[in-house]
Structure 1
Amino acid sequence: MTGLLEVSDLDVRYGASQILFGVGFTLAAGQTLALLGRNGAGKSTTMKALAGLLPARKGSMRLAGRDVTGAPPYRLARLGLAYVPEDRQVFAAHTVEDNLLIAQKPGPEGETAWTLTRIWESFPLLVPLRRRPAGRLSGGEQQMLAIARALIGNPKILLLDEPSEGLAPLVVASIAHLLRDLRAQGATILLAEQNLHFCLSIASDALIIDKGQIVYRDTVAGLNANHEIRSRYLAL
């Protein structure tokens, strides 16, 4: 099966330690795919490798049919890959609106669907905070801003690393609602999470990574029904 993002046989090291072993999967256009696993399983390493922040020792990656193996982060961003890291990395000294204006750009084919006006409509919680420095936002507000900042670059693919981690339940529910809306609008999302419950109403399909290897693939509904797999790879 061909897809918008095709990853094949990816090996990644941190120094002398190998973290990923032959990771491969396909992300289709309009799909929301959950990459699930315990802490330390390799989720964040996978996301950083896809975003060009960690070099792959082996393997390949294709984006919209183009070989982007080894491409630097700025080139991947220009080609439509947007990455929201686990620690958000907002520009703390700049206002919410400035964070968005800094990131605003057309998509790789000139797409301009995500404008500042649409961001305010889609993220109403950010509207009264538009003049506030991003460093003074709560964790949940920063997460919303980080997702909004990624979207205003009109990406083809949104990579989200642990978007629910450490946030209050009401904020997690708001982010889940937002991601469901994005999925309904046809967005293509890869979501790295350890919280299956969070993913149930968001993603259509799931991968499980364990000890740096993809060990299971199914629909999210199929995974939720498989008690043995959940106990083996996702139980805390």
Structure 2
Amino acid sequence: MAAPMLEVRGADVFYGASQILFGLDLSVERGQTMALLGRNGAGKSTTFKAIAGLAPPRRGEIRLAGVPVSGKAPYRIARAGIGYVPEDRQIFPEHTVEDNLIVGAKRGPRGEAHWTLTRIYEVFPLLAGMRTRMAGRLSGGEQQMLTIARALMGNPDILLLDEPSEGLAPIIVQAIGGLIRTMRGMGVTILLAEQNMHFCLDVATHATVVDKGQVVYCAPMAELRSNAAITQRFLAV
């Protein structure tokens, strides 16, 4: 049986003396779109930073396709196959859309080159018409699409999307949701951190709910949809 694409086991993560994650376990299979759900402060972004090597676990292990990546430098974890789209996007505002994409370009961990400029512009036609525009002049939704596209240019095995719908107009949220469904249909493995459960209902195949730095529920999204006790206790605002 093949190893999960991403596996986090017993992760304890601290910021200074403050512990944020407490023995967190998480598993994402190849081709899944896993929603990591929880209220603000539950530990979602810290989980992503732990996976990406920006907040290394003090205890526990992280494996990518069965290979340990815990304790490696962030750039080595990226080369191993992690594509990370942070919550604050971090575009290069004084460079063009195409320059931002080229900056992120690299082959995958086994030499894959599935994602090229040509393919990006096919999947993100909005960006194709803006390739010479300065990235700092894009709207929030356009910047979000650019950061996702830039991460894909690195040909990752798994894409981490941190709060992709936050602060965007409803029509742009719908567009981001459609994009995630398109990527899912193409076989991209996605881990998606969100507070907005309703957004995830239509885009994710599975859900993991975190609260106070621990996993409290994990199931196919269809099961979470019908589990009022979990949604009211851990996800209701």
Name 1:195's counterpart in structure 2: 196
Counterparts of 1:119 and 1:187, CA distance in 2: 14
2:146 matched to 1:145? yes
Alignment-derived partner of residue 215 in structure 1: 216
Take 2:79 and 2:149, find their aligned partners in 1: how far apart are those partners?
17
Cα displacement (A) at 1:199: 0.7
SS in 2 for 1:83: strand
Amino acid at match of 1:17: S
What CA deviation, in whole Å up to 9, does each residue of 1:91-138 have, x standing for no partner? 111110000011111111111111101111111111221111111111
Please report the RMSD computed on the Cα atoms of aligned residues, expressed in angstroms: 0.9
What's the counterpart of residue 176 of structure 1? 177
Which amino acid in structure 2 is aligned with residue 173 of structure 1?
A: Q
- Structure 2 CA distance for aligned equivalents of residues 201 and 58 of structure 1: 35
Q: Does 1:49 align with 2:50?
A: yes
The letter of the residue matching 1:230 is: T
1:117 is matched with which residue?
Answer: 118
Q: What is the CA-CA distance between 1:67 and the residue it aligns to?
A: 1.1
* Structure 1 consecutive aligned stretches of length 4 or more whose deviation exceeds 4 Å: none
Aligned partner of residue 173 in structure 1, secondary structure: helix
Please say if residues 56 and 70 of structure 2, whose CA atoms lie closer than 8 Å, have aligned partners that are also in contact.
Answer: no
**Partner in structure 2 of residue 72 of structure 1:** 73
Measured after TM superposition, the shift of residue 33 of structure 1 is: 0.5
Secondary structure at the aligned position of 2:151 is classed as: helix
Determine the C-alpha separation between the residues in 2 that align with 1:47 and 1:58. 16
Q: Separation in 2 of the partners of 1:210 and 1:230?
A: 12
Q: d(CA) in 2 for partners of 1:144 and 1:165?
A: 13
> Deviations along 1:215-234, whole A, 9 cap, x unmatched?
11111111111111101000
Q: Which segments of 5 or more consecutive residues in structure 1 lack a partner in the other structure?
A: none
- Find the residue that maps to 1:129 and give its secondary structure: coil
Gaps of 5+ in 2: none
State the distance in 1 between where 2:210 and 2:61 align: 18
Residue 29 of structure 2 is matched in structure 1 by 28
**TM-score under structure 1 length normalisation:** 0.98
Equivalent residue, structure 2, for 1:131: 132
C-alpha displacement of 1:6: 1.1
Deviations 1:9-54 (A, max 9, x none): 0000111110000011211111110000000110000011111111
Letter aligned with residue 165 of structure 1: E
